[in-house]
């Protein structure tokens, strides 16, 4: 099964877009907390493939890349609260 259209709904904003235009470009999702990042990552990895496990890095409190079950690549990140 393939998904051809997606509705992205965040707060009061939403947009409908064809997924074919995103085949080569990952979608980036920046969230506020590590709990949110891990929850989104777990949900998107269901039936998908983890490309970079979600973890703490030198530039983020959490960062990971997952290919969802529809073939979309997602970069999920929580910015580091510490200043370098």
pLDDT of res. 70: 81
Question: How many C-beta neighbours within 10 Å does residue 45 have?
Answer: 20
Beta bridge partners of 62: 78
pTM above 0.85, yes or no: no
3-state secondary structure of 43: helix
CB 73 within 8 A of CB 26: yes
Model pLDDT for residues 11-56, shown as the tens digit of each residue = 666 666 666 655 556 788 888 899 999 999 999 999 999 999 999 9
Model pLDDT for residues 50-81, shown as the tens digit of each residue = 999 999 999 999 999 999 988 888 899 998 87
């Amino acid at each position: 099964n393939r998904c051809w259209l997606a509705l992205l709904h965040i707060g009061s904003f939403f947009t409908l877009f064809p997924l074919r235009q995103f085949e080569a470009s990952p979608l980036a999702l920046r969230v506020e907390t590590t709990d949110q990042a891990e929850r989104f990552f777990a949900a998107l990895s269901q039936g998908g493939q983890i490309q970079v496990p979600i973890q703490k890095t030198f530039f983020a409190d959490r960062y990971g890349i997952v290919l969802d079950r529809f073939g979309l690549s997602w970069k999920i990140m929580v910015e580091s609260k510490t200043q370098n």
